[in-house]
């Protein structure tokens, strides 16, 4: 009996030791925070590497910077390059800002920028094909790029985080890149966390914070709990259902900004029924955007009137389509459908039945699909839902299987609509599994691809958006918001729509 | 000694066969399941690309060649101890895995400690108080542990231990404290089978004649339990551990992701999503070798803990 008691006792002691070990660790962390000016941010997408040419985290963490960037109004602005000039159809000259230094103290000049671009062209397949650089020449603080073809979108492509300027010959770029941002990396654990300290010679004014820690966790609920427990000061991409305890806590706040993403329905042009614009318009009218925003997104979304975030100057100026089942029914009748005895829409003896594919990767998309299914049923259109885990390969490899799909995309991640118009609407675009081919739109996109003048580009993009509104190859539903939980001790900081510059030199703590 | 050598050599032979079958099966499965790495490589969600770019990349990486040709090429490289490089991050696969492996192994050890801390007392209580209320509690715990999904259990533990009572960190790795919640989650997820097995073994052992004779010799109950009954009953637990190491390494992924543990969890999930074939294949190889090696160690442990087995084998 005695030995059993002592055995239970020893387990108890071990437990106590473990717990006491932990709590002392915690206290240390808290006391450290109160003396240092530091912030812990919790982000959702884990980074494998800190190499700014491979991953977005280099720029997001305030370590690396690009030649040009988009500002809070989503307009392209000078950044490491203070000015640029388009010499001819293919030639661009950028003037690099004086006084910018890399984290090792060496100055950033034309040569350094050239070396950085040489590195990215060599190591990044996608960026190398998107930049279309034929040759580069450095001269003092200037760098000249010659494109392989007339390429006006070059400027906006330079907003891409992977084009940021790094010290090309630095070793260990994956863990401690040498770049120009307000912070430099002190340690990095792949897919887990990165620790940063401020760079004292930062050109745009030394950062207010001493240290920043960014941790990655792909579970939204854990991110919300970590914010509440004080382990994180900023928690990105919170699920709407986790917000209530955060909103009711007076030490925390929730920021919700419309993202550059749009959730939409993509129609398959291979289906004869969907080739009829009236049918597409009818389906568009069945999308109840206010309900989707309020009920499915808990209010954390903005109704979409077109592919682009409404803050862009080239976004659609018309109102989002209003839900109107009666008009939808009328349009279907115009398209030759009649209600049969069962109340189903029928043409040539066939009931209008559409297969809607959706995927669970974004949990709200299956809900949007179900909601649309209900609305369609009320006017006599059958929608069959299939949930596909790997949606992209399904859409491409089984193009005759599906009629519609709930989809989601970043549409103008670099402040220019050219990207989405090219990939989603041109017949050989990488995001055009629905075989959309609208000659008028193709022409506008091709024209855009050779137009450099910003105002003309704007005008062409607006025209393209109008064609999209008229032809309805997609039904745009909503722009989901980026929901960020913030501890009130963080000041002078708010999330931007572009999700590029998350850590700044301006952010501070109380 | 002779026996140890024969166990080791037969296991090494098994290892080669298993690696061949496993690698071929995963290679074929990966290629026939939908999804291709080219979209990830071209970052189609991010920068402009066309179907033409896609074909170019397919060719460049040899994805357009027949599966068998690709497999033989891979096997040839592996034979030269080259697991290739990740097509997404371009780092050597072996380097990526070796980077992550220690954290996963450390967490597995934590989980196994938690497992024994949970399973042994509960199994013993169940057996000693057979049919009484402590037995029911132990059995209920086993059922509960088996039916709660680990991600939910992890969230519950975080909610109480980190948020409500502020005892332990929510996530990450660093101090001993960081081990506690993920280890307990892993321990509870694995414990039910072990509790049941230990309880059953102990119940039958406690009824056996040698225990009765030990009582007859006047030994105390606790002493009998600890030094006589428990020791023999722990052996099947060790066997079971050898068998369940594979599922342990599978189940640990969810827990690693939940607690931002810097192991192989996030790595393999991302690799699967991006169809990073060399990394997936390398991971399966390493896990396969680990499972076989653990079983080998378990077999060798037998020889140490229970000489009876050795005698039994030698006689037969």
**Token representation of residue B130:** 């057979």
Please answer yes or no on whether B166 and A127 come within 8 Å at the CB atom.
no
Q: In the predicted model, what is the mean pLDDT of residues B298-310?
A: 69
CATH number of A261-480: 3.10.105.10
Residues of A in contact with B30 (CB under 8 A): none
pLDDT higher than 50, residue A27: no
Three-class SS state of A461: helix
Q: In the predicted model, what is the mean pLDDT of residues A117-144?
A: 94
- Reference A500, options B262, B226, B46, B259; nearest CA is B46
Tokens 């829409």 appear where? A345
Question: Where in A245-323 does DSSP place strands (E)?
Answer: 252-258, 261-267, 301-303
Three-class SS state of A313: coil
Q: Which of the residues A129, A158, A163, A399 would you substitute to probe the B interface, choosing the one with the greatest number of B C-beta atoms within 10 Å?
A: A129
Q: Is B31 on the interface with A (CB under 8 A)?
A: no
pLDDT higher than 70, residue A117: yes
Residues of B in contact with A21 (CB under 8 A): 175-177
Residues of B in contact with A54 (CB under 8 A): 89-90
pLDDT higher than 80, residue A36: no
Strands across the sheet containing A142-147: A81-86, A91-96, A142-147, A133-139
Give the integer Cα–Cα distance in Å for B149 and B226: 33
Give the integer Cα–Cα distance in Å for A252 and A249: 6
Give the integer Cα–Cα distance in Å for A269 and B14: 54
Contact yes or no for A196/A46 (Cβ under 8 A): no
Residues of A in contact with B168 (CB under 8 A): 19, 22, 26
DSSP one-letter code for B276 = -
**Confidence (pLDDT) at A397:** 87
Give the integer Cα–Cα distance in Å for A317 and A103: 44
Residues of B in contact with A402 (CB under 8 A): none
Q: If you average pLDDT over every residue of chain B, what do you get?
A: 86
Residues of A in contact with B221 (CB under 8 A): 1, 4
Residues of B in contact with A148 (CB under 8 A): none
**Confidence (pLDDT) at A29:** 42
Handedness of CA A22, A25, A31, A33 (dihedral sign): negative
Q: Which of the residues B32, B46, B219 would you substitute to probe the A interface, choosing the one with the greatest number of A C-beta atoms within 10 Å?
A: B46
**Confidence (pLDDT) at B135:** 92
**Confidence (pLDDT) at B305:** 67
Predicted confidence band of residue B89 (pLDDT cuts 50, 70, 90): confident
Contact yes or no for A478/A271 (Cβ under 8 A): no
What is the rounded end-to-end Cα distance, in angstroms, of chain A? 58
Predicted confidence band of residue A17 (pLDDT cuts 50, 70, 90): very low
Residue B88: closest CA among chain A residues belongs to which residue?
A54
Q: What residues have CB less than 8 Å from B76, skipping those under 6 apart?
A: none
Q: For residue range A231-252, list pLDDT tens digits in order.
A: 999 999 999 889 999 999 999 9
One DSSP character per residue, B91-140 reads SBHHHHHHHHHHHHHHHHHHHHHHHHHHHHHHHHHHHHTTTSHHHHHHHH
Contact yes or no for B161/B179 (Cβ under 8 A): no
Rounded to 10°, the helix B150-157/B230-258 angle is 80
Predicted confidence band of residue B248 (pLDDT cuts 50, 70, 90): confident
Give the integer Cα–Cα distance in Å for A345 and A299: 33
**Confidence (pLDDT) at A21:** 43
Count Cβ atoms within 10 A of the Cβ of residue A200 and give its class: 0-12 exposed, 13-18 middle, 19 or more buried: exposed
Residue A3: closest CA among chain B residues belongs to which residue?
B222
Contact yes or no for A188/B99 (Cβ under 8 A): no
**Confidence (pLDDT) at A7:** 54
Please answer yes or no on whether A190 and B169 come within 8 Å at the CB atom.
no
Residues of A in contact with B50 (CB under 8 A): 426, 428-430
pLDDT higher than 60, residue A12: no
Q: In the predicted model, what is the mean pLDDT of residues A437-444?
A: 96
Predicted confidence band of residue A31 (pLDDT cuts 50, 70, 90): very low
- Select from B45, B172, B270 the Cβ nearest to the Cβ of A215: B172
Give the integer Cα–Cα distance in Å for A243 and A258: 17
Q: For residue range B160-179, list pLDDT tens digits in order.
A: 999 999 999 998 888 889 99
| Min distance B49 CA to chain A CA atoms (Å) | 6
Q: Is B100 on the interface with A (CB under 8 A)?
A: yes
CATH fold of A183-258+483-509 reads D-Maltodextrin-Binding Protein; domain 2 (3.40.190)
Contact yes or no for B155/A210 (Cβ under 8 A): no
Residues of B in contact with A425 (CB under 8 A): none
Count Cβ atoms within 10 A of the Cβ of residue B218 and give its class: 0-12 exposed, 13-18 middle, 19 or more buried: exposed
| Min distance B256 CA to chain A CA atoms (Å) | 10
- Reference B179, options B105, B287, B290; nearest CA is B105
- Reference A177, options A331, A313, A317, A65; nearest CA is A65
Please answer yes or no on whether B226 and A7 come within 8 Å at the CB atom.
yes
**Confidence (pLDDT) at B157:** 95
Residues of B in contact with A225 (CB under 8 A): 155, 158-159, 162-163, 170
- Select from A18, A48, A430 the Cβ nearest to the Cβ of B54: A430
**Confidence (pLDDT) at B312:** 44
**Confidence (pLDDT) at B315:** 38
Q: In the predicted model, what is the mean pLDDT of residues A25-44?
A: 66
Contact yes or no for B287/B249 (Cβ under 8 A): yes
**Confidence (pLDDT) at B307:** 57
**Confidence (pLDDT) at B211:** 80
Residues of B in contact with A153 (CB under 8 A): 48
Residue B40: closest CA among chain A residues belongs to which residue?
A126
Give the integer Cα–Cα distance in Å for A496 and A74: 9
CB burial of A74-89 (b: ≥16 within 10 Å; e: otherwise) equals: bebeebbbeebeeeee
Contact yes or no for B242/B298 (Cβ under 8 A): yes
Q: In the predicted model, what is the mean pLDDT of residues A397-412?
A: 93
- Reference A362, options A257, A284, A285, A261; nearest CA is A261
**Confidence (pLDDT) at A420:** 95
Predicted confidence band of residue A14 (pLDDT cuts 50, 70, 90): low
Contact yes or no for A459/A291 (Cβ under 8 A): no
Q: How many CA atoms lie within 13 A of A56 on its CB side?
A: 17
| Min distance B275 CA to chain A CA atoms (Å) | 11
Taking only residues 169 to 198 of chain B, the set having a beta carbon closer than 8 angstroms to any beta carbon of chain A reads 169-177, 180
Predicted confidence band of residue A35 (pLDDT cuts 50, 70, 90): low
Q: In the predicted model, what is the mean pLDDT of residues B185-190?
A: 92
The answer to whether domain A58-163 and domain A183-258+483-509 are alike in fold is: yes
- Select from A4, A189, A231 the Cβ nearest to the Cβ of B222: A4
Please answer yes or no on whether B168 and A22 come within 8 Å at the CB atom.
yes
Give the integer Cα–Cα distance in Å for A176 and A63: 10
Give the integer Cα–Cα distance in Å for B244 and B266: 21
- Reference A226, options B157, B185, B161, B169; nearest CA is B169
Residue A219: closest CA among chain B residues belongs to which residue?
B258
Q: Is B258 on the interface with A (CB under 8 A)?
A: yes
Q: What residues have CB less than 8 Å from A395, skipping those under 6 apart?
A: A357, A402, A405, A433, A434
Q: Is the pTM of this model over 0.90?
A: no
Q: For residue range A373-389, list pLDDT tens digits in order.
A: 999 999 999 999 999 98
Contact yes or no for A180/A107 (Cβ under 8 A): no
**Token representation of residue B99:** 């980077």
Predicted confidence band of residue B109 (pLDDT cuts 50, 70, 90): very high
Residue A190: closest CA among chain B residues belongs to which residue?
B262
Q: Which of the residues B170, B175, B274 would you substitute to probe the A interface, choosing the one with the greatest number of A C-beta atoms within 10 Å?
A: B170
Decide which of A388 and B220 is more confident.
Answer: A388
Q: Is B241 on the interface with A (CB under 8 A)?
A: no
Give the integer Cα–Cα distance in Å for B235 and B298: 10
Q: Give the count of Cβ contacts less than 8 A between chain A and B.
A: 179
**Confidence (pLDDT) at A11:** 53
Q: In the predicted model, what is the mean pLDDT of residues A396-405?
A: 93
Q: How many CA atoms lie within 13 A of A382 on its CB side?
A: 13
Q: Is B69 on the interface with A (CB under 8 A)?
A: no
Predicted confidence band of residue B308 (pLDDT cuts 50, 70, 90): low
pLDDT higher than 70, residue A156: yes
| Min distance A428 CA to chain B CA atoms (Å) | 6
DSSP one-letter code for A106 = -
Residues of A in contact with B33 (CB under 8 A): 390
Domain boundaries, given as residue ranges, for chain A = 58-163, 183-258+483-509, 261-480
Residues of A in contact with B46 (CB under 8 A): 126, 160, 410, 413
Predicted confidence band of residue A147 (pLDDT cuts 50, 70, 90): very high
Residue B259: closest CA among chain A residues belongs to which residue?
A217
Predicted confidence band of residue A25 (pLDDT cuts 50, 70, 90): very low
Q: In the predicted model, what is the mean pLDDT of residues A113-137?
A: 93
Please answer yes or no on whether A410 and B257 come within 8 Å at the CB atom.
no
Give the integer Cα–Cα distance in Å for A352 and A280: 12
Give the integer Cα–Cα distance in Å for B91 and A151: 32
Rounded to 10°, the helix A439-448/A418-425 angle is 140
Contact yes or no for B249/B267 (Cβ under 8 A): no
Three-class SS state of A233: coil
Question: Where in A123-189 does DSSP place strands (E)?
Answer: 133-139, 142-147, 183-189
Handedness of CA A48, A53, A59, A64 (dihedral sign): positive
CB burial of A249-284 (b: ≥16 within 10 Å; e: otherwise) equals: eeebebebbbbbbbbbbbbbbebebbebebbbbbbb
Q: In the predicted model, what is the mean pLDDT of residues B104-114?
A: 93
Q: For residue range A158-169, list pLDDT tens digits in order.
A: 999 999 999 999
Q: How far is CA B185 from CA A22, A392, B259, in A?
A: 17, 34, 10
How many helices (H) and strands (E) chain B has is answered by: 14, 0
Superfamily of domain A58-163: Periplasmic binding protein-like II (3.40.190.10)
**Confidence (pLDDT) at B28:** 87
Q: How many CA atoms lie within 13 A of A336 on its CB side?
A: 11
| Min distance B3 CA to chain A CA atoms (Å) | 36
**Confidence (pLDDT) at B177:** 92
- Reference B229, options B132, B130, B162; nearest CA is B130
Handedness of CA A309, A311, A313, A318 (dihedral sign): positive
Three-class SS state of A436: coil
Give the integer Cα–Cα distance in Å for A259 and A499: 8
Predicted confidence band of residue B123 (pLDDT cuts 50, 70, 90): very high
pLDDT higher than 70, residue A15: no
Please answer yes or no on whether B117 and A11 come within 8 Å at the CB atom.
yes
Residues of B in contact with A231 (CB under 8 A): 162, 169-171
Strand partners, A78: A68
């Amino acid at each position: 009996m005695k030995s059993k008691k002592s055995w239970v006792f020893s387990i108890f002691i071990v437990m106590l030791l473990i717990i006491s070990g932990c709590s002392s660790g915690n206290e240390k962390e808290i006391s450290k925070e109160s003396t240092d000016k530091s912030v812990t941010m919790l982000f959702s997408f884990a980074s494998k590497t800190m190499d700014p040419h491979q991953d977005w985290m280099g720029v997001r963490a305030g370590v690396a910077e690009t030649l040009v960037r988009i500002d809070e109004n989503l307009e392209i602005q000078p950044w490491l390059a203070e000015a640029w000039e388009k010499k001819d159809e293919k030639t661009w000259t950028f003037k690099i800002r004086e006084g910018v230094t890399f984290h090792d103290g060496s100055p950033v000049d034309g040569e350094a920028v050239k070396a950085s671009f040489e590195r990215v062209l060599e190591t990044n397949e996608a960026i190398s094909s998107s930049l279309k650089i034929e040759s580069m020449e450095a001269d003092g603080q200037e760098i000249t790029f010659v494109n392989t073809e007339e390429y006006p979108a070059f400027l906006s492509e330079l907003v891409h985080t992977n084009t940021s300027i790094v010290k090309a010959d630095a070793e260990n770029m994956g863990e401690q890149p040498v770049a120009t941002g307000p912070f430099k990396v002190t340690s990095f654990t792949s897919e887990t966390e990165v620790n940063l300290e401020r760079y004292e010679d930062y050109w745009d004014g030394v950062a207010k914070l001493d240290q920043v820690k960014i941790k990655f966790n792909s579970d939204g609920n854990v991110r919300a709990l970590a914010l509440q427990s004080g382990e994180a000061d900023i928690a990105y991409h919170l699920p709407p259902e986790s917000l209530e305890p955060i909103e009711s806590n007076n030490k925390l706040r929730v920021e919700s900004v419309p993202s550059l993403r749009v959730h939409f329905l993509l129609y398959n042009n291979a289906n004869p029924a969907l080739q009829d614009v009236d049918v597409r318009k009818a389906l568009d009218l069945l999308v109840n955007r206010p309900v989707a925003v309020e009920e499915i997104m808990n209010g954390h979304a903005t109704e979409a009137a077109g592919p682009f975030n409404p803050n862009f100057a080239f976004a659609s100026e018309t109102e989002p389509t209003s839900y109107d089942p009666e008009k939808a029914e009328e349009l279907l009748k115009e398209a030759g459908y009649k209600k049969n005895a069962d109340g189903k829409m029928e043409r040539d003896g066939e009931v209008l039945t559409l297969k809607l594919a959706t995927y669970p990767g974004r949990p709200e998309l299956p809900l949007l699909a179900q909601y649309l299914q209900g609305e369609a049923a009320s006017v006599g259109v059958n929608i069959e839902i299939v949930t596909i885990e790997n949606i992209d390969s399904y859409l491409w490899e089984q193009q005759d299987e599906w009629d519609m799909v709930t989809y989601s995309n970043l549409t103008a991640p670099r402040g220019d609509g050219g990207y989405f118009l090219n990939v989603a609407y041109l017949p050989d675009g990488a995001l055009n599994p629905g075989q959309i081919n609208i000659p008028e739109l193709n022409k506008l996109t091709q024209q855009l691809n050779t137009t450099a003048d910003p105002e003309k580009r704007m005008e062409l993009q607006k025209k393209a958006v109008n064609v999209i509104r008229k032809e309805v190859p997609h039904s745009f539903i909503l722009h989901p918001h980026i929901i960020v939980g913030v501890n009130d001790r963080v000041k002078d900081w708010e999330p931007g729509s572009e999700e590029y510059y998350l850590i700044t030199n301006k952010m501070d703590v109380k | 000694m002779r026996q140890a050598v024969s166990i080791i050599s037969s296991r090494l032979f098994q290892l080669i066969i298993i690696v061949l079958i496993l690698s071929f099966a995963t290679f074929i499965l990966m290629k026939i399941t939908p999804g291709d790495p080219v979209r990830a490589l071209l970052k189609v969600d991010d920068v402009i690309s066309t179907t033409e770019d896609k074909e170019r990349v397919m060719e460049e990486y040899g994805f357009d060649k027949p599966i068998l040709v690709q497999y033989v090429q891979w096997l040839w490289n592996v034979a030269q101890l080259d697991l290739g490089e990740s097509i997404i991050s371009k780092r050597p696969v072996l380097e990526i895995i070796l980077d992550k492996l220690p954290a996963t192994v450390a967490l597995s050890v934590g989980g196994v400690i938690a497992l024994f801390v949970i399973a042994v007392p509960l199994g013993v209580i169940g057996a000693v108080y057979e049919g009484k209320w402590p037995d029911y509690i132990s059995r209920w715990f086993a059922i509960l542990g088996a039916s709660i999904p680990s991600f939910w259990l992890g969230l519950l533990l975080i909610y109480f231990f980190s948020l409500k009572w502020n005892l332990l960190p929510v996530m990450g790795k660093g101090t001993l404290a960081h081990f506690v919640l993920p280890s307990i989650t892993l321990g509870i997820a694995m414990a039910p089978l072990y509790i049941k097995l230990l309880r059953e073994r102990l119940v039958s052992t406690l009824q056996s004649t040698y225990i009765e004779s030990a009582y007859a010799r006047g030994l105390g109950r606790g002493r009998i339990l600890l030094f006589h009954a428990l020791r023999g009953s722990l052996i099947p637990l060790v066997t079971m551990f050898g068998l369940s190491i594979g599922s342990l390494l599978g189940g640990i992924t969810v827990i690693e992701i939940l607690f931002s543990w810097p192991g192989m969890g996030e790595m393999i999930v991302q690799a699967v999503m991006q169809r990073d074939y060399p990394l997936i294949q390398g991971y399966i190889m390493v896990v396969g070798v680990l499972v076989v090696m653990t079983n080998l160690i378990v077999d060798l442990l037998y020889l140490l803990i229970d000489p009876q087995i050795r005698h039994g084998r030698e006689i037969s």
